[in-house]
Amino acid sequence: MSSAEHFTQTPLDRDEGYRLLDVLQDEATQNAALPGLEDLAPGFADWIVTSLFGGTYQREGLSLRDRQLLNLAALTAMGGVEPQLTGHVKTCLRLGMTREEIVEAFVHLAPYTGVPKALAGLRVAAAAL
């Protein structure tokens, strides 16, 4: 029996990935997220959309809102990824989260990520909101 027979198949749907990307991000956010990437690394942007939005995001178990909160937490903890964090703050708004919920997410992160990273997240949120 091969290794592949032991695992549950995960969806990987390119068309669904692009459909979901259009739901989550406006055109300006999409254009800011991957500027010039196709010229630099042909096919990489397509791989990101297909594997992330057409794959990971297609899994059951978490709502889009939950996924966005996790994205805010992970990107804040990483630090240095302000363009991506800005896009995810805007996506939170598109999904119906309020300004207060977004701000509170960053405040809640302070004891876990450190105050400087939470402050950096709040600065990104302030600019994006």
Return the pLDDT at 13: 93
The pTM of the full predicted model, rounded to 2 decimals, is: 0.86
Nearest to 88 by CA among 25, 28, 44: 25
The residues spanned by each domain of the chain are: 12-59, 63-129
**Span 13-37, average pLDDT:** 84
Asked if pLDDT for residue 2 goes beyond 90, the answer is no
Q: What is the CATH number of domain 63-129?
A: 1.20.1290.10
Return the pLDDT at 36: 78
Asked if pLDDT for residue 1 goes beyond 70, the answer is no
Asked if pLDDT for residue 35 goes beyond 70, the answer is no
Letter string b/e over residues 67-94, b meaning 16 or more CB atoms within 10 A of that residue's CB: bbbebbbebbeeeebeebbbbbbbbbbe
Q: How confident is the model at residue 67 (pLDDT cuts 50, 70, 90)?
A: very high
